[in-house]
C-alpha cells in the first residue's frame, strides 16, 4: 500500500503548472524525456523524489491496461495525451527532480522476463481529464 497522496486531475494539473516555467539546465535533461523512455543512466534514481501517485488505490477495480489515444497517437508519441485514468498513467507516480524541480511520471513496466523503470516528463499542456469510459 502506498503512502503517497493520490493526485486527482485538478491536483495533477495544478502541480504540473506550478513548475512548468523551469528552464534551467539539469542532469535530468541530458536525455529527452518528452515521451515514455527507460530511466536513463544520466538520471540517477536518487535524484527523483516521489510527490504523489495517480494510482487510485481507493478504487475497488483493477486499473485498466487500455490506453487513451483519440488522435492516433501511441504510447511512444511525445505529444500523446496524459490521461490519468488510462495505462500507463493509472500506475504512475509523480516524481520531482531534487536538483531543478522538474516533474516526471514514473512507473515500473514488467513483462515475462524483464522489469523496466519508465519515465516521462510531466507536460501540463498534455494532461486531459478523459473519463474512464472513453476507450
- pLDDT at residue 134 greater than cutoff 70: no
- pLDDT at residue 127 greater than cutoff 90: yes
What pLDDT score was predicted for residue 1?
45
3: in domain: no
18: in domain: yes
The answer for residues whose C-beta is within 8 angstroms of residue 37's C-beta and 6 or more apart is 31, 118, 119, 120
Cell numbers describing residue 98: 531534487
Host domain of residue 114: 9-126
What pLDDT score was predicted for residue 2?
62
pLDDT digits (tens, 9 = 90+) for 28-85: 999 999 999 999 999 999 999 999 999 987 776 788 999 999 999 999 999 999 999 9
Cα–chain center distance at 132: 17
pLDDT digits (tens, 9 = 90+) for 72-88: 999 999 999 999 999 99
132: in domain: no
- pLDDT at residue 135 greater than cutoff 90: no
114: in domain: yes
Average pLDDT (101-123) is 93
> How many structural domains are present in the chain?
1
Question: Which 8-state DSSP code applies to residue 62?
Answer: P
Q: Count CA atoms within 13 Å of residue 33 on its CB side.
A: 26
Amino acid at each position: 500500500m502506498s503512502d503517497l497522496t493520490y493526485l486527482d486531475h485538478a491536483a495533477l494539473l495544478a502541480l504540473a503548472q506550478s513548475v512548468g516555467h523551469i528552464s534551467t539546465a539539469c542532469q535530468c535533461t541530458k536525455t529527452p524525456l518528452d515521451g515514455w523512455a527507460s530511466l536513463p543512466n544520466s538520471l540517477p534514481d536518487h535524484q527523483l523524489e516521489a510527490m504523489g501517485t495517480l494510482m487510485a488505490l481507493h478504487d475497488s477495480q483493477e486499473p485498466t491496461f487500455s490506453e487513451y489515444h483519440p488522435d492516433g497517437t501511441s504510447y511512444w508519441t511525445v505529444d500523446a495525451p496524459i490521461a490519468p485514468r488510462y495505462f500507463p498513467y493509472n500506475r504512475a507516480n509523480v516524481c520531482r527532480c531534487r536538483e531543478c524541480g522538474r516533474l516526471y511520471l514514473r512507473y515500473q513496466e514488467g513483462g515475462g522476463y524483464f522489469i523496466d523503470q519508465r519515465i516521462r516528463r510531466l507536460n501540463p499542456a498534455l494532461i486531459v481529464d478523459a473519463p474512464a469510459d472513453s476507450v
